[in-house]
Amino acid sequence: MVCLYFEKNRIVNRYVTYRRKGKPLQTPETAKPRETLHHQRSRETREVILQAAIGCLDEYGYSETTFAKVQTAADVSRGAITHHFPTKQALVAETARLLLENVMRPFERRQANPRTEAEPVHDLIMHSWKRMVASREGRAFVEILVACRTDRVLQDMLRDGLTEFDRRSGASITRLYDGHGPDADDAALLWAIFRSFCRGLIIHQQFVSSPDDIHRLLARFAQIMEKELFVRDPPASENPRT
């Protein structure tokens, strides 16, 4: 026997003490013309939230990355998060975009400065693993990718960005390295193989007894790659001075 009396939709908000967290946001010495304080603060909060999301994704995985946990990690209010990212997928998609951007930056920088030397293949592999993959960011990214497989909404948000990333990433490698395979874009192919291997390795990592096991796998892979991938000899063609 259940008897409910609800005043549905008539509950009025009670008194609440609102407090704005953080400093009162003094106007900085050089306030850029159209960069208002609103914009600036908004961007800062956004950044804090995204960094917290990366941490949560790494630590808890996609499904356990909740608004509540991000809120705690970022030390912002619930409203701040939902203001910037209306849904969970939007938050994660933006996180992914940030991660991709960070990964691409070094490549683009090298491209802008064409006289920098390409690393030896072995170093390239080892550095890429350490910087891009075996890190908070790399693990968070794998979580996002895996979530995409079964979350249609998230997948639709990210598909274009990711294929674009694949393309640019492959192009950057092809500019500096050359492969032994038949196709002209063999370096890009090898690079895609390397990335897949890395992502699988992240998943595998937790079950090896010692970190050395991972290093052995990686070293062996690098050894193989050294036979297939080469630093492109002639940096000529375009910009041939010096």
Partner DNA sequence: AATATTGCAGACCGTATGGTCTGTTTGTAT
Partner DNA sequence: ATACAAACAGACCATACGGTCTGCAATATT
Report the interface residues with a copy of itself, using CB under 8 A. 1-7, 59-64, 139, 142-143, 145-151, 155, 159, 162-163, 166, 181, 186, 189-190, 192-193, 195-204, 206-209, 216-217, 220-221, 223-224, 227-228
The C-alpha atoms of residue 143 and residue 60 are separated, in whole angstroms, by 9
What's the min distance (Å) between Cβ of 57 and DNA? 12
State the burial class of residue 226 (Cβ atoms within 10 Å of its Cβ: 0-12, 13-18, 19+).
Answer: middle
Q: Is 241 in the site for DNA (CB under 7 A)?
A: no
Q: Whose CA is closest to 92, among 151, 44, 166? A: 151
* Of positions 76, 99, 147, 201, contacts DNA by CB under 7 A: 76
CA angle (8, 12, 15) in 5-degree steps: 150
CA angle (78, 84, 90) in 5-degree steps: 100
Q: Look up tokens 């910087």; give the residue.
A: 131
Q: Is 72 in the site for DNA (CB under 7 A)?
A: no
CA angle (108, 179, 193) in 5-degree steps: 75
Taking the least distance from each CB to a copy of itself, the nearer of 41 and 214 is 214
What's the min distance (Å) between Cβ of 122 and a copy of itself? 15
The C-alpha atoms of residue 159 and residue 145 are separated, in whole angstroms, by 10
| Binding-site partner at residue 9 among a copy of itself, DNA, none, CB < 5 to 8 Å by type | DNA
Q: How many residues bind DNA (CB under 7 A)?
A: 44
The C-alpha atoms of residue 27 and residue 41 are separated, in whole angstroms, by 11
The C-alpha atoms of residue 182 and residue 96 are separated, in whole angstroms, by 33
| Binding-site partner at residue 68 among DNA, a copy of itself, none, CB < 5 to 8 Å by type | DNA
What's the min distance (Å) between Cβ of 49 and a copy of itself? 20
Which spans of this chain sit near DNA (rule: CB under 7 A)?
A: 8-9, 11-22, 24-25, 27, 36-39, 41-42, 44-46, 64-69, 76-80, 82-84, 86-89
